[in-house]
């Protein structure tokens, strides 16, 4: 107890944070932040709603090995769709 300098909690499910805070060193700065996009339940509801009403989004799935070129396009405002990094593909061209 009271030995950690920091905790990054990325669990998307609802869970108690007090046990985590109890692990932090005493008298230190504590910051709790959240996301305004909702959790897994809200995300699933949004996807179900979009599917039911045939709402789609145009995206450009970019493999990780292409990320530098993608960033250059963003800096030049040379984009047509929202970029999504495809982390499921290999990091290099094969």
Average pLDDT, the chain: 85
Rounded Cα distance between 65 and 68, Å, is: 8
Q: Which of 5-9, 13-17, 44-48, 51-55 has the lowest mean pLDDT?
A: 13-17
Amino acid 94: pLDDT: 62
Residue boundaries of the structural domains of the chain: 1-54, 57-94
Determine if the pTM surpasses 0.85.
Answer: no
The CA–CA distances, whole Å, from 26 to 39, 40, 64, 79, 90 equal: 30, 32, 40, 48, 43
pLDDT tens-digit series, residues 50-74: 999 999 988 888 888 888 999 999 9
């Amino acid at each position: 107890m009271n030995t950690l300098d920091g905790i990054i909690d990325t669990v998307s499910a609802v869970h108690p944070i007090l046990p985590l805070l109890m692990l932090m060193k005493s008298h230190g700065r504590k910051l709790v932040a959240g996301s305004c996009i909702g959790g897994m339940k809200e995300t699933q509801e949004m996807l179900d709603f979009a599917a039911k009403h045939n709402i789609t989004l145009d995206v450009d799935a970019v493999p990780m090995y292409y990320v530098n070129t993608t960033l250059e396009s963003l800096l030049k405002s040379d984009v047509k769709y929202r970029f999504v990094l495809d982390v499921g593909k290999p990091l290099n061209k094969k």
